[in-house]
Homo-oligomer: A and B are copies of this chain.
């Protein structure tokens, strides 16, 4: 079924907000055999009308996001109803739900929110459990050649739960179940894109009916295979044989999830000591539900005093070798492990920039250490001369991968 996504919002076209809807919706509908054929972003206002009108003739399913809020630039509900010749009726139950939510959270409401209780005739109301504006569903109508239309809220934290709770169950009913194409994604750390292709590209291209894609992210490559199950099974055997333990995820999970899972299964614990990554390593690990069972402590020792006070690193060691050094990385990891009594400790110290580099240790230099009981502490010197967020991303990626390899 031809599926089109229209994202409305001047804020998207002005760049004030990142559009995450395409990514989210595409992943959610793929298991139903649906792919977004085209995604378009249009500004608020009457251009929405044109974009919807254009798609009405082409699509079998249209998702429209944004423009359902209480402010004057939110007109998706009104434009869609007008375009389809549907009247809006006021639904007092919606207003009551909005009022109850506001009371629970201690919000005060203005008169304007009442607009969010207007519903085009024949539409199904999709409750919004994380915001005030409900979503709306208009079923396809063969008489008027209307496709399935979903009007959804713009904020991701409202759209995501609504999509899972209400939109997917409707799609499961209306989409014919003739799905044969599946997707398998292999996430690979510690190898560049062209090395991954060199390892698996040629044998995979020989498999008929296999669609192959590579995607480079900071510190990882995603290898995506699309095809029928039997083809994918053959492809997967090749990928696993060639890449083996370099694959850290096949279910979309992150590198930090792989690490938390390995530690949980082994009933082992971790501490992290961070200088240049400044809490990002702990943040990634604590994004994983259940991390509390394995992460004992995080030490964000940005200053030299903190390195001494929190990790017991002698000021002389720091002044002799520099805070960014193999010796300090090693002492940080060992200090974190000793203080927290964790089985493993990771430490990072480096120069994120933009300033602070020297000729011997330019901006981007980083030392990553892994301490474990009864074995020598390992230290890797890496070089990530990138902007600050990418530097943090690459450093934490390398640290997590260092631990993951140790745990295999």
Contact = CB atoms under 8 A, between A and B. Distances in A.
Interface of A: 9-20, 22-28, 30, 35-42, 44, 69-73, 105, 107-110, 112-113, 130, 155, 157, 160-161, 183, 185, 192-195, 197-198, 201, 205, 211-218, 222, 224, 272, 274, 277-283, 285-287, 289, 291-292, 295-303, 305-306, 309-310, 339-341, 353-355, 383, 386-390, 392
Contacts of A12: 22-23, 39
B300 A300 contact: yes
Contact of A15 (B30, B217, B302): B30
B296 A305 contact: yes
Contact of A213 (B26, B44, B295): B44
Contact of A155 (B38, B216, B300): B216
Given A70-B194, A224-B16, A279-B286, A300 B297 contact: yes
A335 B178 CA distance: 61
Contact of A194 (B110, B218, B280, B287): B110
Contacts of A71: 193-194, 197, 201, 214
B20 A194 contact: no
A13 B18 contact: no
A35 B43 CA distance: 10
Nearest to A340: B306
The 9 tightest CB contacts between A and B, nearest first, are A278-B286, A298-B300, A279-B282, A15-B26, A15-B27, A279-B279, A279-B283, A297-B306, A15-B23
A18 B18 contact: yes
Given A296-B303, A302-B295, A213 B11 contact: yes
A281 B19 CA distance: 24
A16 B205 contact: no
Contacts of A72: 197, 201, 205, 212
Given A105-B383, A389-B287, A11 B212 contact: no
Contact of A280 (B286, B299, B306): B286
Main secondary structure of the interface of A (DSSP, over half): mixed
A201 B111 CA distance: 13
B309 A286 contact: no
Contacts of A282: 274, 278-279, 282-283, 300
Contact of A69 (B35, B193, B386): B193
Contacts of A113: 194
A140 to B, nearest CB: 22
Contacts of A278: 282-283, 285-287, 291, 295, 298
A19 B306 CA distance: 39
Contacts of A277: 283, 286
B39 A38 contact: no
Contacts of A44: 213
A30 to B, nearest CB: 7
Given A193-B69, A309-B340, A387-B157, A299 B296 contact: no
A17 B23 contact: yes
Nearest to A295: B302
Nearest to A107: B192
A73 B160 CA distance: 30
26 contacts: A10-B211, A11-B213, A11-B224, A12-B22, A13-B26, A15-B26, A15-B30, A16-B23, A16-B222, A39-B41, A44-B213, A71-B194, A71-B201, A107-B192, A110-B198, A157-B386, A272-B279, A274-B282, A278-B287, A278-B298, A282-B283, A295-B300, A296-B302, A298-B302, A299-B310, A309-B340
A105 B19 CA distance: 33
